Chain A
Amino acid sequence: GAVVSQHPSWVICKSGTSVKIECRSLDFQATTMFWYRQFPKQSLMLMATSNEGSKATYEQGVEKDKFLINHASLTLSTLTVTSAHPEDSSFYICSAMTGSDKNIQYFGAGTRLSVL
């Protein structure tokens, strides 16, 4: 199956700093990538959809200036949490979709962000 790599798996940062999370499709080209946030014992909440070469589409209630998404190539998308605060602490997961695999989303392993 398709492999999606997400890095880092765990990050701790001080309040007010920015954190960048990378999502790479290792063995396929991802025309579309998605970023999700997951709270403990809850399901995935879609934050934004990222298409290569174009601006990301953010879900209602997600601050685009706080969660910067860049999809500069067909294998890499990044999520930058700017000026992080403790309430941004969460589990962030990316997924990638190929255009040829019947719309299946393949997920990264997730990033646990803890803001002190």
Chain B
Amino acid sequence: EDQVTQSPEALRLQEGESSSLNCSYTVSGLRGLFWYRQDPGKGPEFLFTLYSAGEEKEKERLKATLTKKESFLHITAPKPEDSATYLCAVQGNYGQNFVFGPGTRLSVLP
């Protein structure tokens, strides 16, 4: 059974304090790993897709990396507007469904 865990559950940072969020997964053949951002009361917003170990993607202050067992979302010099819940999801080779992790609630204080 495909599984995704995320850590930490919640993270509070000062503005400018860089950190990383972890997504660990087990899947029977990885088709893709996806990062989303979700603001309260809104649907998830797509950030990145990673398909193979060693791949990296960047967007503004965010950088996602992938190994065979986990993915990291690095946040460099975060701003208060980066505060949100960050969700990780995997899609296995057998089926089209995503398995979502529980998310990391990030708060960036000014």
Chain B binding surface SS class:
strand
Bin chain B's interface residue count. Answer: 20 to 34
- In the complex, which residue of chain B has the Cβ closest to the Cβ of A4? B43
Chain A, residues 77-97, CB within 8 Å of chain B (1/0): the string is 000000000000001010101
Q: Is the CB of B102 within 8 A of A110?
A: no
Q: A43-B102, A44-B87, A103-B31 are contacts. A109–B42 as well, Cβ < 8 Å?
A: yes
A110 touches B42 (CB 8 A): yes
Which of B41, B45, B97, B103 is the one whose CB lies under 8 Å from A46?
Answer: B97
Q: On chain A, which size bracket covers the interface? A: 20 to 34
Q: Once the chains are docked, how many angstroms separate the CA of A34 from the CA of B98? A: 10
Judge whether A42 and B102 touch: CB under 8 Å: yes
Q: Determine how close the nearest CB of chain A comes to the CB of B56; give it in whole angstroms.
A: 16
| Contact call B34/A104, Cβ cutoff below 8 A | yes
Task: Kindly list chain B residues whose C-beta atoms are within 8 Å of the C-beta of A109.
Answer: 42-43
A110→B43 contact, CB < 8 A:
yes
Q: B44 on the interface (CB 8 Å rule)?
A: yes
Complex CA–CA separation, A102 to B55 (angstroms):
15
Judging by beta carbons under 8 Å apart, are A103 and B97 in contact? no
Q: Is B25 an interface residue (CB 8 A)?
A: no
Give the shortest distance, in Å, between B50 (CB) and chain A (any CB): 11
Given A49-B96, A97-B96, do A106 and B102 touch, yes or no (CB 8 Å)? no
The yes or no answer to A107 lying at the interface (CB within 8 A) is yes
